[in-house]
Amino acid sequence: MSKFSRVVIYPKDVAAITGKNYRSSWILLSRIKSHLQKESHQVVTVQEFCEYMGLKVDDVVPIL
């Protein structure tokens, strides 16, 4: 895994990676939180996002 500066992923990042709009990206992150049984104040990490979406972290980090 490559070294990257951010751990948390935001809807704007998800939109850039997936090509979805901001609202759809926010909903996707909400679904990931629900799937991981996280509370509303907890965040989704880049690693968790990649595992859920079946992506490689090394492919996603350059986009961030």
- Residue 2: pLDDT over 70: no
36 located within any domain = yes
Model-level pTM? 0.84
CB 8 within 8 A of CB 48: no
**Could you list the residue range(s) of the whole structural domain that residue 33 is in?**
11-63
3 located within any domain = no
pLDDT for 55 equals 93
1 located within any domain = no
Tell how far CA 6 is from the center of its chain: 11
Angle, CA 17 vertex, CA 45 and CA 37 arms, to 5°: 30
pLDDT for 50 equals 95
The total of structural domains in the chain comes to 1
| Contacting residues for 36 by C-beta, under 8 A, at least 6 apart | 44, 48, 52
45 located within any domain = yes
- Residue 52: pLDDT over 60: yes
29 located within any domain = yes
37 located within any domain = yes
